[in-house]
Structure 1
């Protein structure tokens, strides 16, 4: 019978966490259908069926740590009899079912009492919240307790007073989004805590969130980060969009947005200031003769930065289509390591969520990041008159070890000038 294996991880990833099973033993499976999801410290990987058939057994539980190419289940022919945990445990080709005794079902403790077998992730939640495993309502395959079950029980809503019925497993994953979402407790530090006066809730960080925390802290400890600010009158860019939006959509099938204008302006500024497009490697400076711009996207799992390659060769339509493609892949959880690897410069848009001003953190090993913010009508002085204009604050955080304040300020001023007169960059002036 075909084995269900963990996908091959990249060289920098050693292990992952089994987030969820989309099928349970006995269910029919079609070729290409998603069987399980595995979270590494960078992306969420899907394990798909290589043929039609029936899920015979699973050898790993939700929340378990898994290794690259490890066997986590068995797929049989369509209509095949489902293997029992005892039968699979007795098969030397696959070894015992993790989280169960060789007889299957429950593990017997030294005092003779039976308690549901627990995965490492579940044991941690149980221990931290002083839970009784026997009282937790189990929803996983073969009636095992999943991490979601334990978290629910910790919140006071997941205990079971009677026999456990065989129900479908609860998925710990929801699709990433580019807009504010209500995250699940398992994935967000801002999730609501248990009810009651002065209640608290302890939830393990996901691998991706742990990795984000490590990278952000590393760059703060390593780089000499400084931020310079400016403001942009967005009226010319808004007028350009308004005038050409309809013919642009008719020709290219995609709307003209502000992000493509910022990517184009940033690319022109990177050409003029190569230090901003460079990176530090030990005692060396690496100057890049290409322009790969990362676009920071907020998802439920954390910050992801897909990369636009060779932006100097992309038209505004190409940029808009690429960004739209990344947004769709992020929403469907389809972003790959290749989508997010590399990059020489990044742009983040806090204005999507209403941010007026911020100091973005560099995406190492890059040396700078541009922060966009919301557009607000404010009074400004123009030709000796006070007028109301749609203004945006922009910020450039940069590594002062490589980039001097003068060129950082000039870089941001160039972006401002290009956006306030977009015809210049479209005409290559």
Structure 2
């Protein structure tokens, strides 16, 4: 069985690296953790150790190639090289390796769980533990983010964290090793020893010369700012100058010793460098990437148009005021606006079925049911859980379901089934103070209703100017399937139901 050698995570803002040099060639025997290849980025040089003992079977990428994080570098054939390595080692080392192997056999692997039928990968979020920490069974180890939801990974057993195999920001598939736990608890003593060699990697900060040329990005920045190699202290391996070193040198006031004509371009350098230092680069979560992609796809594929109207919320507000205490006492949930809006939408969808349909190639699929998506804002982004068969539910049942889905969304416990199959979406920007907006379709749906802030405005009622609690409504729709007349009629029906709630009771 072959063990893969892959590009490790290189840092939050680093997505690729260049192969600097291979220390081994195919057929060479390697021992576990022995450096195999050196990678260069604009921030650091990294040695990739052997993940297992054996024989270097193949090298996939050659020196000078650029590779991305996670790319396959080569493979190690297990077994063939291991005996040779042991034969050269002293008997004491052989005994130590045997003990280590015995200890490793007791370790418990924590792997990426399956996140759902259509979810094939997840991104590693923040780790709640570090190597050497003692955990109890079911303690949260790490949070995984998919394009649908976040999922906490608990400890399967009590013990000591002896290895964290993937860093924050790494994309992993189901079954990939996340970390290892030593249930005996003896791994705690080994953790500091394993971490001790780390400072040595940053020790060789070059003072004058360097045995390696500057990294390509550093070379370019030095040329742009007229800096020479002796003006920048390299912090990379063997004193190599990295991009970050150049930025630090510019920020500290390093200038070229060349003649006055070059002063003008150099003067712009420190400002740009200082701005770059003050910037913060944060990796987009899987959820945010999916939101961005789906919204842009909706704009690109649909003939999206928005029509507006306004609704007098006085009748609904009076009804809530009159019955809210009795409603909460009987149904165990507060009487909000979403129940009325959802019910009004389902009534309008029955009259205008095109708004509840979707396009599939050259076909139109009419949905004879109303699964209403309710957009919910969370700290991780916008999610749209679905109230299924809302047309068959009472206002009380709708409010209860929306409350349950909202709690699950805030707790990060929404599953795939909670967010799939919606036929129409309601988005309430009014809770954040939005007075007017044009919502973007939740593809492949053909309609989305935008609710907004209730604001008192002077209105003409029966020839008199009166102050009424008004709300702007916005219906965005796919003009490929919904005509303007249908869209306007739909919005008018929603308005009529809200301004005369008895229509909802009488099914008018």
Q: TM-score range, shorter-chain basis?
A: 0.7 to 0.9
Q: Relative to structure 1, is the Cα distance of residues 4 and 322 closer, same or farther in structure 2, using a 3 angstrom cutoff?
A: same
- Whether the 8 Å CA contact 1:212–1:303 is kept in 2: the answer is yes
Give the superposition deviation at 1:11: 5.0
Q: Secondary structure at the match of 1:401?
A: coil
Give the superposition deviation at 1:427: 2.9
Deviations 1:316-351 (A, max 9, x none): 222212222222222222222222122000000111
Distance 2:409 2:437 in 1: 24
Give the superposition deviation at 1:403: 0.5
| Structure 2 residue corresponding to 1:51, chosen from 157, 172, 197 | 157
Q: How does 1:98-177 map to 2 (within 5 A)?
A: 105=198, 108=201
| Structure 2 residue corresponding to 1:376, chosen from 451, 455, 467 | 455
Asked if 1:301 is matched to 2:416, the reply is no
Task: Give the aligned partner of residue 273 of structure 1.
Answer: 352
Task: Give the aligned partner of residue 159 of structure 1.
Answer: none
Give the superposition deviation at 1:298: 1.6
Distance 1:362 1:306 in 2: 15
Task: Give the aligned partner of residue 394 of structure 1.
Answer: 473
Asked if 1:336 is matched to 2:415, the reply is yes
Q: Secondary structure at the match of 1:82?
A: helix
Distance 2:199 2:374 in 1: 48
Q: Structure 1: 5+ residue runs without aligned partners?
A: 89-99, 115-125, 136-153, 155-193
Q: Structure 2: 5+ residue runs without aligned partners?
A: 1-106, 207-217, 223-232, 237-246, 248-272
Aligned residues: 347
- Whether the 8 Å CA contact 1:57–1:83 is kept in 2: the answer is no
- Whether the 8 Å CA contact 2:204–2:235 is kept in 1: the answer is no
Give the structure with the larger helix fraction: 2
Task: Give the aligned partner of residue 321 of structure 1.
Answer: 400
Q: Relative to structure 1, is the Cα distance of residues 75 and 426 closer, same or farther in structure 2, using a 3 angstrom cutoff?
A: farther
- Whether the 8 Å CA contact 1:39–1:207 is kept in 2: the answer is yes
Give the superposition deviation at 1:18: 1.0
| Structure 1 residue corresponding to 2:282, chosen from 203, 210, 213 | 203
Task: Give the aligned partner of residue 149 of structure 1.
Answer: none
Q: Relative to structure 1, is the Cα distance of residues 61 and 406 closer, same or farther in structure 2, using a 3 angstrom cutoff?
A: same
Task: Give the aligned partner of residue 340 of structure 2.
Answer: 261
Task: Give the aligned partner of residue 29 of structure 1.
Answer: 135
Give the superposition deviation at 1:29: 2.8
Task: Give the aligned partner of residue 18 of structure 2.
Answer: none
Give the superposition deviation at 1:206: 2.5
Deviations 1:60-86 (A, max 9, x none): 122222222211111232644338469
Deviations 1:6-34 (A, max 9, x none): 12144544432211111223433333332
Asked if 1:345 is matched to 2:424, the reply is yes
| Structure 2 residue corresponding to 1:283, chosen from 341, 362, 367 | 362
Q: Relative to structure 1, is the Cα distance of residues 104 and 318 closer, same or farther in structure 2, using a 3 angstrom cutoff?
A: farther
- Whether the 8 Å CA contact 1:56–1:83 is kept in 2: the answer is no
Task: Give the aligned partner of residue 18 of structure 1.
Answer: 124
Give the superposition deviation at 1:361: 0.2
Asked if 1:65 is matched to 2:151, the reply is no
* Structure with more relative contact order (C-alpha pairs < 8 Å, separation 6 or more): 1
Deviations 1:136-183 (A, max 9, x none): xxxxxxxxxxxxxxxxxx9xxxxxxxxxxxxxxxxxxxxxxxxxxxxx
Q: Secondary structure at the match of 1:255?
A: coil
Q: Relative to structure 1, is the Cα distance of residues 21 and 41 closer, same or farther in structure 2, using a 3 angstrom cutoff?
A: same
- Whether the 8 Å CA contact 1:57–1:84 is kept in 2: the answer is no
Give the superposition deviation at 1:50: 2.6
Distance 1:106 1:64 in 2: 23
Asked if 1:216 is matched to 2:322, the reply is no
- Whether the 8 Å CA contact 2:307–2:487 is kept in 1: the answer is yes
TM-score by length of 1: 0.73
Deviations 1:170-210 (A, max 9, x none): xxxxxxxxxxxxxxxxxxxxxxxx99799544433332222
| Structure 1 residue corresponding to 2:313, chosen from 231, 234, 251 | 234
Q: Relative to structure 1, is the Cα distance of residues 65 and 198 closer, same or farther in structure 2, using a 3 angstrom cutoff?
A: closer
Q: Secondary structure at the match of 2:187?
A: coil
Task: Give the aligned partner of residue 254 of structure 2.
Answer: none
- Whether the 8 Å CA contact 2:205–2:234 is kept in 1: the answer is no
Distance 1:390 1:243 in 2: 17
Q: Relative to structure 1, is the Cα distance of residues 376 and 224 closer, same or farther in structure 2, using a 3 angstrom cutoff?
A: same
- Whether the 8 Å CA contact 2:132–2:192 is kept in 1: the answer is no
- Whether the 8 Å CA contact 1:38–1:46 is kept in 2: the answer is yes
Distance 1:20 1:197 in 2: 25
Deviations 1:249-294 (A, max 9, x none): 1111111000111011111111111111111111111111221111
TM-score by length of 2: 0.62
Distance 1:30 1:313 in 2: 46
RMSD: 3.4
Deviations 1:112-157 (A, max 9, x none): 669xxxxxxxxxxx9xx99x9979xxxxxxxxxxxxxxxxxx9xxx
